[in-house]
Each structure stands twice: as C-alpha cells, then as structure tokens.
Amino acid sequence: MKLGYGQSFADYNPEEDFCCQLEPLTRVPDNAFAEARLCARELYQKYQRPLNLCLSGGLDSEAMALAFLAEDIPIHVWTLRFNNNLNEEDICHATAFCQHHQIEQKFVDLDVINFYEQRRFEDYLHRYKSMSVEVAVQLWFLDQTPEPVIWGGQGFRALRRPDDEIRLQPITQMEAVFFRYFQYTGKQGTPNFHFHSTPLIWSFFKTSLKLTHRLYPDDHVPEFYADKFQFYKMAGFPLKEISARSQKLHGFEKVKIYFDERLKKQQTDYQRYYRQWAESLYPYSKNARFVLPSIDPIRQQLVHF
C-alpha cells in the first residue's frame, strides 16, 4: 500500500505482511494545517462542487473541518446519530462546532441496537474484510452520505515515549478497510483526509517527533485526549480545548455498556461477542511494516527512528 500522491493498496491477505509505503517528498512541507488547507483546496478543485464532510465530536474530524473552513470552501456536514441518544456525548461537540461556525448540520439516524441485533453489520464485514463491527457501522454511514464524501481519519504520528523510544503509529489495518470501501464502491471522495498528500503526512510525522506521548491505555481517556490535542495544536490547527470532550474516545461507549448488560445472561460481553468474533473472521496480519524513504529528500539525510 502506498500513501501520498494517489493512495492505493493491496487487497486483504492475513497470510502476508501488512505493508505501507510513503511516497517521496517533492518539496519542503509547511506545517500540517497549511498542508491540510492545500489538500482541502485540491479536493474542491477536483470535484468543483460542495464537499460532504463526515463530522463526529472528535478532534480528528474537527481538525479536518477547520482546514476547509480556512479555505472558505463550500461544504455540507453530516453526522451519524444513534437512537436513544446513545452517542449524544460524542456528537454534541460536533453540533456545538457547527453552531459556532454557522454551518448547517445534517444527521443520518441509525437504530444502532437493531443494527447489531439483526446483524446488519455482517455484509459490511464480509464485503470489505473488516475486523470491526464499529467500522461496519461507519461504513453504513458512508453509504448514506452523498458524494463526494470526505472521511477524516487521523494524522500520522510517531509516538515518542518518555524513555525516548520511538514507535510508529502508521495507518492501521483497520483504517485500511476504508480504503477498500472507496476502491470497491468507486465512491467519490477520500477515505482518509489526513493522509491525502505526502507533504501532509510528512508534516504530521515531523510534528509528532517533537512530542512525548505517554501511550496510556484506553481507560486513561483525559490523558489520551490531552496528547492528541497537543499534537494537533503543534501542527498548527486552531482547535479549541473542550474539557468535556476529554472524557470520550469514539462514541460507542454507551453501545458497549448496553450490550455488556444484555450479554451477561450468556456469560459473555461486548468485547468477546462482537469485537473478538469479528477479528476471528478477518484476523490482523501478524507482521506490519511501514516503509519511509531512507533518505530525507529535503535535507539529503538518513531518516532515523
């Protein structure tokens, strides 16, 4: 799989290494926000009509939206809304963002409990080789969103630990499902805005090397949020810190709680019944590699990790 100018990838094959390669730079990158603005402008020039942004209450999609707003590009904003307010604590931040910037927010409503109980996710798992039911929900959302549709993804990071060890956090095998979706459906748009160009990816990477990420597990939500917020701020994105948002991760928390309670009688839980089951159908490749150019084309120096 290559990322940068013209994103492409190989089909799912768990027997082979999962490998991504970043294409070489052709110019000196600006900061990531400036590069994101260029990507937003490029996408609008490509399609010559308003773009449909998928906006949740998270930092990744808000950072994406800010790039389009900074370029004054016409957009429509779409948000996935679960029944019974099951993701209200997530999408309320997207609503506040739209109200602040005077953007009309359109909703796609989903009875998420029915989606799970009727196993409507199975077609998405099999068709796009997804190892996540939650990703299947997001693919259903993409099906309902008009073209050209812009999916946010997340900025490329290297994670520097306090002991100065560096770990790459490249595109994951789960994120690759979105690339398969766009390829198989021919849907207009982009499966990961933050990976849209090589300069943008490289700029995110350089920014991340300046930070020390604590790599807390998922139950340390405030620290997880603080690290990501600092990452985007240092990359130049004019995000506003919202303390309430630091308590959330992805918007499926209440769905998990609901099914944990329902599945007690079967002596199982959400993690085992849905997540581990989906991963058993489409397991991750045992080895994953991310290949960066061995020479920094701007400074003609070796890239060290």
Helix (H, G, I), strand (E, B) or coil at 175: coil
User: How many helices (H) and strands (E) would you count in the chain?
Assistant: 12, 12
Structure tokens at 267: 């002596």
Q: What is the mean pLDDT of residues 108-123?
A: 98
Using CA atoms, how far residue 145 sits from 67, 148, 149, 182, 198, in Å, is 20, 9, 7, 13, 27
pTM: 0.89
Strand partners of residue 54: 78
What CATH fold (topology level) applies to the domain 25-284?
Answer: Rossmann fold (3.40.50)
Q: Is 54 exposed, middle or buried (0-12, 13-18, 19+ CB in 10 A)?
A: buried
List strands edge to edge, sheet with 2-3. 2-3, 18-22, 288-291
Span 50-107, pLDDT tens digits: 999 999 999 999 999 999 999 999 999 999 999 999 999 999 999 999 999 999 999 9
Dump pLDDT digits (tens) for 15-39. 777 777 777 788 889 999 999 999 9
Q: What is the pLDDT of residue 122?
A: 97
How far, in whole angstroms, is CA 53 from its chain's centroid? 13
pLDDT in tens, 182-198: 999 999 999 999 999 98
Q: Could you state, in order of their start, the residue ranges of all structural domains in the chain?
A: 25-284
Q: Where are the beta strands (DSSP E) in the chain?
A: 2-3, 18-22, 51-54, 75-82, 105-110, 149-150, 157-160, 166-169, 189-190, 288-291, 295-296, 301-302
